[in-house]
Structures are given as structure tokens and as C-alpha cells.
Amino acid sequence: MRSILFYTYREIRDLILLYLLPMIALILPWAISFQIFKWVSKYLPIYHHALEGNYSHASQYYPDLVEKRFNQNQRLLLLVDNADFWLCRFRPTKMLNLTRPAKANQRWPSAQGYIALGLHWGTGFPALIEIPQSGPAPKFVFSDPTFLFNQQGLLETAYKNIRRKWFHRIARGKAIVAGKGRAFKEIEQATKQKHVPVLLYDAPQHDKSGTEVYKLKNKQFTYQIASGFVKIITSTQVPYVLFSYKLDVNTGFRQPNITKLKSADSTENLIKNLSDFFFENLDSDPSLWHFWKQSPHILVKT
């Protein structure tokens, strides 16, 4: 009986949080949708399991954080991120109109055949519809783990399948699936074909066997990252840009931060650029990072 109640609760929860609630952004004006999202994030304990413990972890690194505001922003971030997917999928023009660059010239390069390096910070879906505006296809690099039924529900599985299919469609054929041995060859091949592989480079390096170790670092922290893309950029000299989309928690607009095209003249210079950009964003608003739950294992105080 308990199992039936649990599975029913999970499906109803996923129906609301992954579909019905974020999908109101497809129908209502954004100003109204965002006010609803803010109210829900402030007064309802949504995404409790996904966010449990995040404040206690984050406050160890940023002790001045206010718990109530941090938790509210984390809930709002996940809700807007889900809404952004549906907007990109069905209302891309509306999504494009919701980005507001904080600085002039925050636009994607007109060049082709570069690598776009982003973060699990803020909202990243707008990048996948803005990059094609200048011509190239965005080849998003994503992990595609196999889940057992008891680890996620039917509606969550369906949601992830819809997202996966959209990643392939927006890539004009095939996105790049990480962890299958060929990912980095496909990244290199995509740049030669004048496409733009899109990686979120703050994905942590868990398997350290047989790999070089690269760490993002500042005066306070170090953070070990996956290393394959570093070798591609330094060995082939393919240009890259760094990007993030900050969620303005007051207005709901996304603020793109897109660097100019860069070339890595050395591994040290590349890692410094990656480190500076990562910690610049993280310091600006720690509540917009998606990886606080994993942080005790990956973000190390120096």
C-alpha cells in the first residue's frame, strides 16, 4: 500500500513541477508567469528532495548567505530552468525576448567551428537557441545515464526523453552523448564541420584513474573538473568562448555573459580563464549554482 501511495505521489508531483507549472510560461505573459513562480518558490517547499542540504553546504563556503533567500532562489532557479526548456521547445521567439545582456556586445560570435564552455550555474537553455541565430548548429554535450524505475518516475523519464530528443533536433541531427568513449572525437569532428559543441565545463571529474588532473582554483577553493575538453582545446588550438546566463531573481530576465573568442596558448592560461570565469559567476550569486548537493565531494577549501 505504501509503495502505491509513494508512486502515485511521485507521479502527481512530477506532473505539476515538470509539466503543468512551468508550462504556464507558454501561455501567460512572462511578467505574470514569473510572479507566480516567485510566489510558489517563496511559500511552497517544492523540489525539497533535490535541494535538501544545499544551504548547509553553500554556507560553509559563503557564510554570509541568508538561508530563507538562498532556498527561495534555488527553488526559483529550478522552476525557471524547467520553464526555459518548454519555452525553447515551443516558444523560442518568446525565449529570445527574455534575455537582457547586462553589458554591450554580449552576443554570440558570428564565427563557426568553436567550442562554447558554460556552467551549471544560472539558466543555460537560451544558449541553444541563440547560437543558431548566427548560423552554426549547437552540439550540446550531455550525459545520458540509465535509470531504474525505482529511481525516477514515468513522467520524469518521459520529460528527460523529450529533452533528449530536443537536444538532437536543435543540433540538426545528433547531439553528443558524454561517457560513451567517442564524445571527444565527436567534439573535435563537430568543430571541423563548423558546428559549435556546447559543454558545461564545471562537471566534476569523479573517475581520476588514467586521467590528467585539472583543477579550477582561486585563493579559497579548488575544484577538479573533467579533463578531456582541455586536451582538445590545447592540442588543436580550436577557439572557445565562455558563457553563462544569470537569472535576475527580481525581474526573471536572463542576463547572458558571453566572452569574446579566445585561443589557448597554454594549458595554464586556459585553466586560469576557466577558473576566473567560474568563480566570478559563483561569487556573484552562489544560490544560482546547481551542484551544491555534490559540493562537499568536489569543492575543496585550500
Give the mean model confidence (pLDDT) for residues 202-223.
77
Cα distance between residue 294 and residue 39, in whole Å? 27
Say how far apart CA 147 and CA 145 lie, in whole Å: 6
State pLDDT tens for residues 54-69.
Answer: 999 999 999 999 999 9
With a cut of 60, say whether residue 150 has pLDDT above it.
no
Strand order across the beta sheet in which 115-118 lies? 176-178, 138-143, 196-200, 115-118, 240-247, 254-258
Element of type H or E holding 103: none
Percent of the chain with pLDDT over 90: 73
Question: Residue 24: helix, strand or coil by DSSP?
Answer: helix
The predicted pLDDT at position 148 comes to 45
Convert the pLDDT of each residue in 77-92 to its tens digit.
999 999 999 999 999 9
What mean pLDDT comes out for the span 14-25? Answer: 97
Interval 157-191: pLDDT, tens:
999 999 999 999 999 989 999 876 688 899 999 99
pLDDT, tens only, 256-296: 999 999 999 899 999 999 999 999 999 999 999 999 998 98
Cell of 14: 512530477
